[in-house]
Structure 1
Amino acid sequence: MADFRTVPFLPTAFHDDATLDLDGQAALAATVAAAGVDGVNVLGLTTGEVTSLRVEEIGDVVAATRRGAAGLPVGVGLGPPGAGTLALARAAAAAGADLLVAPVPAGSDPLAPLGEVAELGLPLWLHHHPAVTGARRSGDELAALATEIGAAVVVVEEAPPGDLLAVLAGGASAGVGGLAALFLPEEVEAGAVGTVAGCAVPERLVEVVARYRAEDAGAAWDAYLELLPWLRLEVGSPGLRVRKEAWRQRGVLSSGRVREGAPLAAASKLAITRRLRQVGADVSAPYPGS
């Protein structure tokens, strides 16, 4: 467990008018880096709003993240599988991405689109998220695909994650968990070597991981249960809006705006303030009335 890595996916920062907030993006990366993570990822399948970004905006997000990340590695997700994957990968590489996180596509021949990305020469992770991509594959299939294209890591976001991660454990490609850290204990027990779970309280997630690194599973479980009320609120269909509003309430982002979709209502914003306080997070801009 000493090498377990925390490499969370960050949201994409916008102003209230839905234009990119690049200073906010850098500030977000800096804040997460200061929490003690091992790297950061951007433009995740469910957290980066990548489908709402123009290709020319991709490089701006990557560059701003690198500016704030204090020298930590920056990974870049490539969005849902599709015709624009290679163009997005090239834009990310040109902006200084340290690695690419490519979704496992559906269909009988995933090698063709993934092979083109691999040819760019950057380290490559595979992202298995069937709820988003529709690509359901066994652990053996994921391991074989990773070996075929030279991917060192497979991110597994399928519940329960244990069986897939157990197949990957000890193989040529390592398994990493996600799913907003809801299954972090099960991922660790199954042999995951890290997590990409995004979290607006990264310092508490790092605390859980630190206790696992110290081989103190009991203390890690206690810290996880303390964080669980927040993780529950962050997960689900409004999870990205919850996470961005939380970063606004914590004073890191100036806006909780998502580019597409309705804003949160008052009840959710009140709950965010209460749950952040419950897990001991600093809240500099609480929702009025909380």
Structure 2
Amino acid sequence: MAIFRTQPFLPTAFHDDATLDLDGQSALAATTAAAGVDGVAVLGTGSGEPGALRLEEVADVVAATRRGAAGLPVAVGLASTGPGALPMARAAASAGADLLVAAVPAGADRGEALTAVAELGVPLWLHHVPAVTGARLDAPALLALAEDLGAGAVVVEAAPPGDLVAGIAGEGRPATLGGLAGLFLPEEVEAGALGTTAGSAVPERLGALASRYRAEDPAAAWDAYLELLPWLRLEVGSPGLRVRKEAWRQRGVLGSARVREGTPLGTATKIAVTRRLRQVGVEVRAPYPGA
């Protein structure tokens, strides 16, 4: 089944002093938009550090992303569906969000919390990311929740994703999209996923891979995936955001790889970033010394 959408989550750009780098945010969006994607997304649960942002910063990030996105749709993640979710959703909508991607929370009251967001009238996707939220729903529960809320898609980030994707995908149902930095993209597509929100510092390579699925050429897509695998291995997992930001810095798109949450990368990983980027054929403008 052909992929119809590649809408990667971008990191939030900061200066070395941890203030927002809005020019860098626009540059991230512009570079990604030029890579042949269908849209861009920001403030992802595991990729955008939304919990470290003030409400006014949320609007600034969304607006800066829209400036760089070349008219492509901009999706905005809502990491929390607690008391702060509705103000965050309103701030995102007022700054030009085309789509809200709400993390599915743990707890029996999840439907009530998500309903308030859905009632804003901005198109809604659900984001199932149990490693972050602790919510572990099966496919029927996710499908029922999506249908109750009128959600257009469910983003599945649970490894391995195949059974969940297959249980949700189907004619007349909300679209199912993958994530997890693209590491399981072949399995997601084989199970019926219609796209991916995988964040990546090499979006042009991810877009080229997706185009092979659009062309209904899974053999060529598999070859492209294997070529990209050395990078995907490095970018996925708990240090993935820091790896991604360092890669964007080395590519010359960001001036700083600063994160507000988490410790900086060590020398060995920064060297590995340079080597793996080169290995998959990506230009490195600011390689780490010694790589």
TM-score (norm 1): 0.98
Structure 2 unaligned regions, length at least 5: none
Residue by residue over 1:41-72, the C-alpha shift from the partner in whole angstroms, topping out at 9 and shown as x without a partner, is 10000000000000010000000000000000
| CA displacement at 1:249 relative to structure 2 | 0.1
Following TM superposition, by how much is the alpha carbon of 1:261 offset from its aligned partner in structure 2, in angstroms? 2.0
Give the alignment of 1:120-131 within 5 angstroms: 120-131=120-131
Helix, strand or coil for the counterpart of 2:47?
coil
Across the aligned residues of Structure 1 and Structure 2, the Cα RMSD in angstroms comes to: 0.9
Partner of 1:250: 251
Partner of 1:199: 200
For 1:175-190, what aligned pairs fall within 5 Å after superposition? Answer: 175-190=176-191
Alignment of 1:111-126 (within 5 A): 111-126=111-126
1:156 shift after superposition? 0.5
Q: Show the 5 A alignment for 1:1-290.
A: 1-170=1-170, 171-290=172-291
| 1:189-228 deviations in Å (ceiling 9; x for gaps) | 0000110000111111111111111111111101000100
Q: Secondary structure, in 3 states, of the residue corresponding to 1:155?
A: strand
Deviation of 1:147 (Å): 0.7
SS in 2 for 1:154: strand
CA contact (8 A) 1:63 1:95 kept: yes
In 1, the alpha carbon distance for the partners of 2:114 and 2:59 equals: 20
Instruction: Note if contact 2:81-2:114 (Cα within 8 Å) is conserved in structure 1.
Output: no
Residues 73-121 of structure 1 deviation map (CA, whole Å, 9 limit, x = unaligned): 0000011332211111011011010010001111123111101001110
TM-superposed deviation, 1:2: 4.3
Question: Is contact 1:81-1:133 (8 Å) kept?
Answer: no
Deviations 1:248-278 (A, max 9, x none): 0000000000012221111111000000000
1:289, distance to aligned residue in structure 2 (A): 1.9
What CA deviation, in whole Å up to 9, does each residue of 1:117-136 have, x standing for no partner? 01110000000011111111
Q: Give the TM-score normalised by the residue count of structure 2.
A: 0.98
Report deviation, 1:246. Answer: 0.1
Q: How many residues align?
A: 290
Structure 1: distance between partners of 2:238 and 2:109? 30
SS in 2 for 1:274: helix
Preserved contact between residue 43 and residue 50 of structure 2 (Cα < 8 Å): yes
Structure 1 alignment gaps of length 5 or more: none
The Cα of 1:4 is off from its aligned counterpart by 2.0
